[in-house]
Structure 1
Amino acid sequence: MNDNAFNALAHEQRRTLLLDLLEHNPQGAKVESSTGHSVLTDAEQGIQVAMYHSHLPKLEDYGYIEWDEDTNEISKGPQFDEIRPLLEFLASNGPE
């Protein structure tokens, strides 16, 4: 295990995305509106900007994901198995 794994899991949005990939590969990168409307709230837009400009590039640099920016599809990257044990631990010991 290296610092990249802990850094990747340090932020809730990155952690959630990686846990989702553990269960369902691939995933969409688009942030969904919690209000059910087609327009994102300011907070949701902020989350989407952070995902596209910070979180997704970081996870891709670490090799944990592969991100197709044209289709907004995210799949497990070549280093995903490096972080899998931590993700499995979090998934089995998370809040109930």
Structure 2
Amino acid sequence: MTRTKTLLGTGVSQLDRLFTCLSHPNRRRILTTLAESGPRGEDGQASISLDPNDGGLEVPDGDLAPLERAGFVSWDRRSGTVTRGPNFETVRPFISLVREHREELPEDWPEPVVR
């Protein structure tokens, strides 16, 4: 039996989906920022504002959609916020590795934007 599970019977493994999500700098920045953010707001959930007028991240919708589909983030379009999704813990070990080995990463690896 293989240890790689498929998502929703699509034949796409969770690991493939993870690497696809990590393949874009904006998505890496979002996930890293959420991993490094402490709880905020009334619900105690780490969140990122997507309102550039509020000092939030400017992120195209196309960069959020794959993260949302994978369940790594929950995206509230109405309020313009992104929070950790139900599958966020799947990506957390990779983000931790990045944090621990940041000095070994390419110079263009985006820094998290923690507010």
The TM tier, using the shorter chain, reads: 0.7 to 0.9
Query: Runs of 4+ in structure 1 displaced over 3 angstroms?
Result: none
Q: Which has the higher relative contact order, 1 or 2, with Cα contacts under 8 A spaced 6 or more apart?
A: 1
Aligned-pair CA distance for 1:52? 3.4
Computing the radius of gyration over CA atoms, which structure comes out larger, 1 or 2?
2
Q: Could you list the per-position Cα deviations for residues 18-75 of structure 1 after superposition, in whole angstroms to 9, with x for gaps in the alignment?
A: 000001111112346xxx9xxxxxxxxxx94xx3331111100010000000111110
Number of aligned residue pairs: 82
Distance 2:78 2:90 in 1: 27
Paired residue secondary structure (2:86): coil
| Alignment counterpart, residue 54 of structure 1, candidates 62, 65, 78 | 62
Normalising by structure 1, report the TM-score.
Answer: 0.74
Q: Give the superposed CA RMSD.
A: 2.4
Paired residue secondary structure (1:84): helix
Distance 1:95 1:12 in 2: 17
The percent identity for this pair of structures is: 27
Structure holding more helix per residue: 1
Distance 1:29 1:18 in 2: 13
Normalising by structure 2, report the TM-score.
Answer: 0.63
Residue 78 of structure 1 aligns with an amino acid whose one-letter code is P
| Alignment counterpart, residue 26 of structure 1, candidates 43, 47, 50 | 47
Distance 2:16 2:66 in 1: 13
